[in-house]
Structure 1
């Protein structure tokens, strides 16, 4: 099994179709994207026992006789993405060293195992176990599962890096669109008097996600050293981009000597293409949105009526 997961065994032959890799990436990202949809569990969990709500967070950690508050549960969402960033930073080089197939299986084990451990915390009504399983262990699976498909797709699509990243992010963002309705239906199936059906729904989702993530991880392949995309012989996987080559090249060399990865289109046509203008527009919109938010908030505030001027004597 270890030899089957080695980098040498997952190196693709020259005739391998690179478009077989995006479905594997989507299989992983659609599963871990359920992190955005975990709020579907908050309301049922806040009424799981039918008792009074816990008075504070320490009481929620130690007591099994009071219902968790929503404010106690949303910390799982915070743990998801804090641990995601930390694990992505810590395990990035490790993922590159062991290859995407092993990393994908580790991600599947952490994410699905974390959901299962969180389900045990719900069953035992132990908030700390729910945090540890879904938030911490699941967050590690999120981080590894996030960077593994992205780095693999970029290797296969060096000529379309934006498209490769977008395909992966699309799956991550769309995971809640699939997972939240599924979790809602599962809770409706398992709901009974005195039972919210949350831990059963989490266990079923963990099993389904384990199947899809394992299939996606086993489908990953790596391009051979020196592999180039079809019809793009001048673009080598892992080669520097046009911008980095321009920064390294002498100033007086011009685009002809610096842009080693340019296509047959001239640089002027590339800079004026609709794709470039779309990127500029999206960047400007992202930069402007934080500034527009307080302005729109002020515009929505009702204006106070001005006091009537005092009558002149």
Structure 2
């Protein structure tokens, strides 16, 4: 497709699909610029939406922006448009994270279109999953999805899974003891009691908290500081199916690749009928992050811990309107 056929309305449609991507605390730390003359969409990070305490290096911010970039590629492919991506194209502008030159699709672009239906069905589920095992061929497909984006997905054994869950509990204790970390999470979490605040189009709403756990849980409990009436209790799966997404190095470019791999894996899992959530707590503390890595695997740096299984999907969480995140130039 020639760039002169890609107008502002088309760019808005692509961005509207892109922003369904996940981000830490649903902060949505991105903004876009569409260059009409060249048919290029720029992806910028938004430092005002960064987690200054628990993501001081902006690693998680880059992951979220990588995920939104992958969604942009999927949407473009479904609309018959190619997206030639360049990562970190301007060393003088640290917040210009990527460019996507829109044009004629390649065979690789066209292959992404099969994931389009999963874009708006993928939601983080903080509810219990069943004890049904994820079949090995499905896990192999998710590994292959990560490899297509230059990353690696490993499935920890029972011993290492328990070690990671122990690190999750350690990370929760770190946050409980750190008032700045607690305040940061609180800022992005709905307050269901008292005077109702104005509806917001970001953060974690109360309906996405999931039930309280009757025991150890592999998901973050956003409702711990904000009790929800009649929230209910549940027993989570005894042996969660975890997966570790990693990269050889730990640079900004690798974080963006990991974000794209993360979203590709999540969309493929959704298409395969799996429910998913992300367990990032131990990755937010440098003294714990190194221990998440499986010592028996040749993975350099763990970028995300995923939880996979069969269970109820999570609810849709709010997104900022396209008019707020897209600038036309």
TM-score (norm 1): 0.20
TM-score (norm 2): 0.20
- Structure ranking higher in strand proportion: 2
Q: Kindly name which structure, 1 or 2, has the bigger radius of gyration based on alpha carbons.
A: 1
- Structure ranking higher in helix proportion: 1
